[in-house]
Amino acid sequence: MAAHFDIAGLGLLDGLEGDARNDREELIAWLLHRGFGIDQIRASVAAPLLLPMNRVLGDDGTLVSARDICEETGLDLELLERLRGAIGLPSIEDPDAAVLPRVDGEAAARASVILALGADRDDVIAIMRVLTEGLQRAAALMRQAVFRSVLRPGASEIELAEAVEGRARGSVAQLGSMVEYLLLLQLRQSFETEAINAAERAAGELPGARTITVAFADVAGFTQLGESLPPEELLKLVRQLADVARAASLSPVRYVKTTGDAVMLVSPDPGALLNSVLELVEAAADEGLPQLRCGVASGAAVSRAGDWFGSPVNLASRVTGAARPGTVLAAQSTREAAGDSGGFAWSHVGARSFKGISGEVGLFEVTGLHLPPRNRRTR
């Protein structure tokens, strides 16, 4: 079956060499033989070995339109769009295009049960967001546990795909009831959750520190706003910032959390993260938010329960405080990590020392080449 496709010509082996390239080619041929379509494989090119597990977990590859979901559930398009955003799915561009995985649409539509309880729309959105954040955290830890149980040095991608699928098949029937009991427990005792980041696949063993790029974006002049706006308006502003940040955080960029008036994003790909924060600055302005200032740094960090700890986290936070309103300021570490990635203009604005950071840090103001240049000045 795989012989009907030019796997290399379709770009499915790009960036791979030697044994890794052969391993991926064998995996794709195996997936095609098991009935996965080439479009499904292309859409999951970063982790195609998870396709069999995803099918066990409900994603059979069926695509529907947003309007189909609304007609089946009674939800209106505006509410469906808000619900998708609340559970971390991208916005709907064409409501009549059959491009949405049915399983994702059904997940958003489950919110109708909360509406039936009498909750208003804003409460439903908030509840779905909190549930999603808590379940993301649980899913991150579950993925970590599953990978730890199946990873073996030298295992092929097909072997890992079969092992992970087997773990999912053996437990999926119990997952729903487990979540139900835990939710009822938390409803009795009350609950709170945090935004998280997902665990990543590793070869042979789970890594400790990993090289990532971290960004913070906060509201310029937030302290002054706190003196002039009531607390409810400040909370609304922070929630709006979080919503815009989630919308800008498409894989491989992950929204991690909100801390005060700042949001935190991470990615193993510095270029993707820079694109996200540049989009975030633009989107915030379009949404009528106060100007944002963004700081970015790269380096080794450790993930625990979806959060991140390490020097790039601390440095990105410090750099954010040095950024001018409406700009993205990157540390030298990110400039080096991004290398010759296209699409960005870099303006060196000097170096400075930061509290708790060893030595001076070179700083670069970053713009996208599609954006109008900003007025720049050396600090």
Q: What does the pLDDT read at residue 3?
A: 45
The single-letter DSSP state of residue 124 is: H
- Rounded to whole angstroms, the Cα distance separating 105 from 267 reads 26
- Specify whether the CB–CB gap between 216 and 317 falls below 8 A: yes
For 101-128, the pLDDT digits (tens) are 888 777 777 777 777 777 788 888 888 8
Domain 210-368: CATH architecture, name and number where available: 2-Layer Sandwich (3.30)
pTM, two decimals, is 0.50
Q: How far is CA 52 from CA 40, 167, 339, 366, in A?
A: 11, 11, 35, 40
- Rounded to whole angstroms, the Cα distance separating 71 from 87 reads 20
Q: What does the pLDDT read at residue 332?
A: 95
Residue 353: enclosing H or E segment and its boundaries? Answer: strand 344-353
Q: Does a cis peptide bond (omega within 30 degrees of 0) precede residue 252?
A: yes
Q: What does the pLDDT read at residue 208?
A: 64
pLDDT in tens, the chain (379 residues): 444 677 877 778 888 888 888 888 888 888 888 888 887 888 776 678 888 888 887 777 788 888 888 888 888 888 888 888 888 778 888 999 888 888 877 777 777 777 777 778 888 888 888 788 777 777 777 777 787 788 888 888 888 888 888 888 877 777 777 777 766 665 664 322 223 334 434 444 445 678 899 999 988 877 666 666 767 777 778 888 888 898 888 878 888 888 878 899 999 899 999 999 999 999 888 888 888 999 999 999 987 656 788 999 999 999 999 999 999 999 999 999 998 877 899 999 999 898 888 889 999 999 986 544 433 333 3
Q: Which two tokens stand for residue 89?
A: 């799915």
- Specify whether the CB–CB gap between 353 and 359 falls below 8 A: yes
Q: Which amino acid is at 352?
A: R
Q: What does the pLDDT read at residue 199?
A: 41
Rounded to whole angstroms, the maximal C-alpha distance in the chain is 67
Contacts of 254 (CB under 8 A, 6+ apart): 197, 198, 265, 266, 267
Three-state SS string across 117-153, please?
CCCCHHHHHHHHHHHHHHHHHHHHHHHHHHHHHHCCC
- Specify whether the CB–CB gap between 43 and 85 falls below 8 A: no
- Specify whether the CB–CB gap between 150 and 206 falls below 8 A: no
- Rounded to whole angstroms, the Cα distance separating 90 from 87 reads 9
Cα 270 to chain centroid distance, Å, stands at 14
Q: What does the pLDDT read at residue 379?
A: 32
The single-letter DSSP state of residue 50 is: G
Residue 362: enclosing H or E segment and its boundaries? Answer: strand 360-368
- Specify whether the CB–CB gap between 2 and 158 falls below 8 A: no
- Closest of 209, 190, 184 to residue 308, by C-alpha: 209
Q: Whole-angstrom distance between the N-terminal and C-terminal Cα of the chain?
A: 61
Overall size of the chain counted in residues: 379
Q: What does the pLDDT read at residue 195?
A: 31
For 6-30, the pLDDT digits (tens) are 787 777 888 888 888 888 888 888 8
Q: Which two tokens stand for residue 42?
A: 């292309």
Residue 295: enclosing H or E segment and its boundaries? Answer: strand 292-304
Contacts of 325 (CB under 8 A, 6+ apart): 220, 221, 290, 291, 292, 293
- Specify whether the CB–CB gap between 150 and 163 falls below 8 A: yes
Pinpoint the residues of the chain covered by CATH 3.30.70.1230: 210-368
Q: Which two tokens stand for residue 267?
A: 């990615």
